[in-house]
Structure 1
Amino acid sequence: MTRWHRPLLLMSAIMAVLSVISLFGVLLDHRTLDGLPIWLKPLKFTLSFVAYGLTWAWLLSLRRTAQRASRLLGNVMAIACVVEITVIISQVIRGRRSHFNFSTALDSSLYALMGTTVMLLMLVNLAAAFLVLRERQATPADTWAIRVGLVVSAAGLGVAVLMLPPTSAQLADVTTTVLGAHGVGVPDGGPGLSLLGWSTTGGDLRVPHFFGMHALQALPLVALLTRGIRDQAVRLRLVLTAGASYTGLVALVTWQALRGQPLVRPDALTLGVAGLLLAGTAIAVPLCLLPLRGGRVSPAATTPAPALEPAESADDAREAAAVEA
């Protein structure tokens, strides 16, 4: 863990402390905003930033090349997350909305600052993802778990862009001070799921945003959980199946949200597509476990999977050979 990106680790530690403070805020501060405890938003954001920071601190440690660029990108990620949560908590203390708020000049400026840091974070995330995508890990299963996780996570992060345009109702109301929304077909602040706040009466873009972003944790976790499988071809097929299924899930909840449909109230069409996705996964998993070529497995395929780490570079191999000679 000594190679992990230290500023991102520090950022994660700060977010962990702030999450505890936010939890106490939820329990002790009885103010509400849009029908939810006012400290719930910083609690969700800080917990998400803890996972985000730890994941990228680890991913950037897997780089064997362009390490200076990796350190710079990680530094920008950490700073952007700190700026974002600072604005959110500042607005909570003031009892104001942090997102989509144009009520006053100060509110507009703070939201503009958040928008700038979010766009910067998205660009830096894409650049860092490109660097890590090029890196080959110790096994193909590990490599593809990270690659698919990065792509789906970037798509989930991009869903936030869909929340920025004003709704038709906002455009029709010249007195509105709120521009942009995460609800589809319903105004923000209506009935929602406990703790999460996701709408129970209309579509909510926070659902695909959440599931998409956390592909970066879910798919490497699948690779980690399958490390006990000695056949590396089986591991790879399981990881690819998990990646395809998770991608299908993110696409499904995005489609559902854009149709103005609550996550907990799917219609027959959504249920049918979800059933096909589940059935396809249930069929694919047993097939993944079947050995290839009549059951013959190459010796290399039976090697236990090492920890998630970069594959040995050619320079490292030559150096090792020279030492042995």
Structure 2
Amino acid sequence: MEFDDYRKQPLFWNGIAMAVLTVAILPLLFLDTRTLLGANIWIKPLKFSLSLGLYSLTTIWVLVRFLKDWKYQRQIQLVLTSASVIEFALITLQAARGEASHFNISTTWNQIVFSVMGASISIFWLFHLWVGYQIFRKKTISRSIKESLVWGLTIAGFGMIIGFFMTSPRPEQLEAMKLGIFQTSGSHQFGSGDPGTGLFFFGWSTKIGDMRVPHFFGMHVMQIFVFLAAYLINKRDSLSNQKLVRSMGILFLLMNIVMVVQTLNGESVFNLNPIYTSIYGISLLLSFLCFFKLVSQPKKIYTQVPI
């Protein structure tokens, strides 16, 4: 596939722009030592540039490789690109101001920012699901590749919607709002007690429930399945391969759901709870076995018929 297939695609250049911005943000971590909630203020823009860049570059490959003839492809790209630019721009602006971008309703401006971000990511999510639906109904994609793409896009959609758990105001926040006190609405933390210093770079709590963990896991499992689909292009398609990919999809979705349940129970995913840890361990082991069986399958057999 030629570079010309990508260089006119908005989502491709969005991915490139996010990569450039990632490099541009890195020096700010050392030049600007301001912190917010115990972390450097530029960590969040950096995480989002990485995440949005990775999403853009993998999704554009799916669109160009499998949905090139879809009449709404460019419109989809423009919406996904616009929504991600709005999200990143507001997060970066708030970081520069030394203000939290998420859950912050302390001023009218902060309320507007939080509302606009919520609206843009909701639109992003709907159009992401539309891409998944188009892949699902496309009849020319081989069974195992389609299975991989559909599971990746579906689990990513589930990972995105997990964010709505975090934006719902907590009872104590609602009570404060009734008294005219507007500070925060929602949180990524679930449970009580000291959340601790958080995991390096990501900031995820290792002591209480942190919904950012299943949110991140769900969104970026998509890349695993997109890379698997790319690998399967050179493999012989078969019903058994389709079933193996489906099994991996079910196992990863199961892990993501269990992560949400564990987090809602106020417990960190990194806590070695015998029940949850067993589910994660068994699911990962079975997924690895499915993957090993997939990679051991023979490649496509190309035959030339003499003329």
TM-score range, shorter chain: 0.7 to 0.9
CA contact (8 A) 2:195 2:208 kept: no
Q: CA deviation at 1:63?
A: 1.3
Moved more, 186-195 or 29-38: 186-195
Q: CA RMSD in A?
A: 2.7
Say whether residues 1:162 and 2:165 are aligned partners.
yes
CA contact (8 A) 1:237 1:288 kept: no
The equivalent of 2:269 in structure 1 is 263
**SS of equivalent residue, structure 2 residue 206:** coil
CA contact (8 A) 2:144 2:232 kept: no
Q: Which has the larger radius of gyration?
A: 1
The equivalent of 2:57 in structure 1 is 54
Say whether residues 1:37 and 2:40 are aligned partners.
yes
TM-score (norm. length: structure 1): 0.82
Which amino acid letter does the alignment assign opposite residue 3 of structure 1?
Answer: D
Q: Superposition pairs for residues 45-84 of structure 1, below 5 Å?
A: 45-61=48-64, 62-67=66-71, 69-84=72-87
Query: CA–CA distance in 1 between the matches of 2:295 and 2:108?
Result: 60
The equivalent of 1:141 in structure 2 is 144
Query: CA–CA distance in 2 between the matches of 1:12 and 1:278?
Result: 30
Q: Deviations over 1:48-84 (max 9, x none)?
A: 01111112212222215432x1211110110111111
The equivalent of 2:305 in structure 1 is none
Query: CA–CA distance in 2 between the matches of 1:104 and 1:13?
Result: 34
Say whether residues 1:245 and 2:251 are aligned partners.
yes
Residues 185 and 172 of structure 1: CA distance in aligned 2, closer, same or farther (over 3 Å): farther
The equivalent of 1:194 in structure 2 is 200
CA contact (8 A) 2:167 2:187 kept: yes
Gaps of 5+ in 2: 303-307
TM-score (norm. length: structure 2): 0.86
Q: Tell me the number of residue pairs that the alignment of Structure 1 and Structure 2 aligns.
A: 295
Query: CA–CA distance in 2 between the matches of 1:32 and 1:258?
Result: 28
Gaps of 5+ in 1: 292-300, 306-325
Say whether residues 1:118 and 2:121 are aligned partners.
yes
Give percent identity, aligned residues only.
30
Q: CA deviation at 1:177?
A: 0.7
Residues 212 and 34 of structure 1: CA distance in aligned 2, closer, same or farther (over 3 Å): same
Q: Deviations over 1:4-24 (max 9, x none)?
A: 461111111111111112222
The equivalent of 1:311 in structure 2 is none
Instruction: From 175, 178, 183, give the equivalent of 1:177.
Output: 183
Moved more, 131-140 or 202-211: 131-140
CA contact (8 A) 1:181 1:188 kept: no
CA contact (8 A) 1:163 1:182 kept: yes
Moved more, 183-192 or 205-214: 183-192
CA contact (8 A) 1:219 1:242 kept: no
Query: CA–CA distance in 1 between the matches of 2:27 and 2:192?
Result: 31
Query: CA–CA distance in 2 between the matches of 1:290 and 1:233?
Result: 15
Query: CA–CA distance in 2 between the matches of 1:86 and 1:279?
Result: 40
Which amino acid letter does the alignment assign opposite residue 303 of structure 1?
Answer: K
